[in-house]
Amino acid sequence: MAEPAARLCCLGWDFSTQQVKVVAVDAAMKVFYEDSVHFDRDLPEFGTQGGVHVHQDGLTVTSPVLMWVQALDLILEKMRASGFDFSRVLALSGAGQQHGSVYWKAGASRVLTGLSPGLPLHEQLQACFSIRDCPVWMDCSTTAQCRQLEAAVGGAQALSCLTGSRAYERFTGNQIAKIYQQNPEAYAHTERISLVSSFAASLFLGSYCPIDYGDGSGMNLLQIQDKVWAQACLGACAPHLEEKLGPPVPSCSVVISLGTSDTLFLWLQEPMPALEGHIFCSPVDPQHYMALLCFKNGSLMREKIRDESASCSWSEFSKALRSTEMGNGGNVGFYFDVKEITPEMIGRHRFSPENREVPAFPKDVEIRALIEGQFMAKRIHAEGLGYRVLPKTKILATGGASHNRDILQVLADVFGAPVYVIDTANSACVGSAYRAFHGLAAGTGVPFSEVVKLAPSPRLAATPSPGASQVYAALLPRYAQLEQRILSQPQGLLE
């Protein structure tokens, strides 16, 4: 996929759960090169499924750090073999899966600063990590550490006001605390702790890259107002942690990513920390914040219901959405095959229009109940963080499901706002490349919006149907009440 006429460009990287991806974007904001390495398929020797190792307890989930390094070796070799002209690269930037962490062994900095261009990275770095299988965002084995952290700062709400979130099992501070408590020798031999994003940047820099405010907000360790490490949190997690993290640094409306996990981002001027969801420092505007809600049961849940109720066919799935009415005749469903983050529940629960729990729905009703339920949950919990439907509200949808117009129509109807999409499958990579161009303008005061003004405009994909606001004005409070009803049941009934 070589570019015959080499042009100046920026590279955008995405170190995600299942693969490493790269795009090249030229000065006209056009993507002209893209490639990827899929962990399970291209690096089978690491034995991952979905890019991770799920341990016997079902709670501990890790990824081999050398797999990420070797994936970078592979993708750079693919680019070189294609004739890609690296001399035309002005800058690069990247995204990394949130909450994953990397533990550099004492002495690794010397290896990192002395890397040889003639040898693969994974060969040179193979002895540089004190933890070889690193905790990732899917891990939920740190409940005890979460409770310890909240107790140390005066409770869950106090921690949320300080760091933007109550204690979450996947957040890096709690993962570090578990490693310190269970493997103190490995922790003692760790000289630096990186997030996946700063780890990837370190590979390119040949030195340790600092953690930025945006990604650092997902650790339960950063004071989001003052943008410094919270000393009480550091002390509650592990000794000498501040020196192992290094100082945080600046990262130089509504977005919904419909991928493996669904994530909802809200642009905020004033943060409203709560016990659900997260408040992060904005990665593109140092004066503002973004709220984030993450839902584990995203595309994998949609695929399961597609297979069960639509003969494994997205076409049949879409037909079911079109053939059923808004509001689904009052039928409401909750579909959480793995324990959800927001709300914290598990299981499938279906309710009739009379609020009676029923064992099954007809297939078409099941499909609409799933999609309406997913989007009603997003809206209800977004409103808890300050979201309101305004005349100028727009939703930008990315990820795999953003290509399904019928799913986007339900999104527009439930949120009461138009939905836009961008014509790229690798939105994280493209956004990273845009950030690289923004980085080139750092210090000039140029806003991010000015840098990307030549970028393709999002395309309108769906607008709210007539009558949608009335339908969901009645259904949303019912959904919220039923959610609370399920949550009030004994935990044993939710399994």
High-pLDDT (> 70) share of the chain, %: 93
DSSP string, 80-140: HHTT--GGGEEEEEEEE-TT-EEEEETTHHHHHHT--TTS-HHHHHTT-BS-SEEE-TT--
Answer whether residue 443 shows pLDDT above 80: no
CA distance 87 to 81: 15
| Mean pLDDT computed over 290-312 | 90
**CA neighbor of 208 nearest in space, from 245, 177, 179:** 245
Q: Is the pLDDT of residue 158 over 60?
A: yes
Share of the chain above pLDDT 90, in %: 71
Cβ atoms of 190 and 129 within 8 Å: the answer is no
Model confidence band, residue 283 (pLDDT cutoffs 50, 70, 90): confident
Cα separation, 112 vs 193, whole angstroms: 14
Query: Higher confidence at residue 12 or residue 275?
Result: 12
* pLDDT over 80 at 68, yes or no: yes
The amino acid sitting at 346 is: I
- Spatial neighbors of 299 by CB under 8 A, at least 6 apart, are 258, 259, 260, 262, 399, 400, 401
Exposure b/e, 274-309, CB count within 10 A at least 16 = b: bebbbbbbbbbeeeebbbbbbbbbbbebbeebbeeb
On the 0-12 / 13-18 / 19+ scale of CB atoms within 10 A, 163 is buried
Banded model confidence at residue 493, pLDDT cuts 50, 70, 90: very low
* Residue 26 in tokens: 């030229």
Distance (Å) of CA 69 to CA 19, 117, 118, 351: 12, 14, 15, 48
Helical axes 156-163 vs 143-153, angle rounded to 10° = 80
Distance of CA 349 to the CA centre of its chain: 26
Name the pTM for this structure.
0.78
Which is more confidently placed, 358 or 291?
A: 358
Residue 416 contacts residue 275 (beta carbons within 8 Å): no
pLDDT confidence of residue 71: 98
Q: What is the pLDDT averaged over residues 32-54?
A: 96
Give the per-residue pLDDT at 425. Answer: 66
Rounded to an integer, what distance in angstroms lies between the CA atom of residue 459 and that of residue 398?
12
Q: What is the mean pLDDT of residues 316-329?
A: 97
Measure Cα distances from 473 to 82, 327, 424 in Å.
54, 10, 33
From first CA to last CA, the distance across the chain in angstroms is 49
Q: Identify the pLDDT of residue 257.
A: 58
Least reliable range by pLDDT among 3-7, 53-57, 225-229, 459-463: 3-7
Q: What per-residue confidence (pLDDT) applies to 495?
A: 39
Average pLDDT over the chain, rounded to an integer: 90
Domains of the chain: 135-250 (3.30.420.40), 299-421+465-494 (3.30.420.40)
| Block residue for tokens 């307890």 | 57
Tally of residues, the chain: 495
- Tell me the pLDDT band of 441, cut-offs 50, 70 and 90: confident
Helix (H) or strand (E) holding 147: helix 143-153
Q: What is the pLDDT of residue 1?
A: 45
Measured distance CA(121)–CA(69) in Å, rounded: 7
pLDDT at 254 over 50: no
pLDDT in tens, 359-394: 999 999 999 999 999 999 999 998 887 778 888 889
Whether the per-residue pLDDT at 491 is higher than 70: the answer is no
Mean pLDDT within 185-206:
96
Of residues 181 and 249, which shows the higher confidence score?
A: 181
Consecutive H or E run containing 68: helix 65-81
pLDDT at residue 2 greater than cutoff 60: no
**Torsion, Cα of 45, 47, 49, 50 (10° steps):** -40
Task: Classify residue 80 as left (phi > 0), alpha (psi -120 to 50) or beta.
Answer: alpha
Chain segment 161-177, per-residue pLDDT in tens: 999 999 999 999 999 99
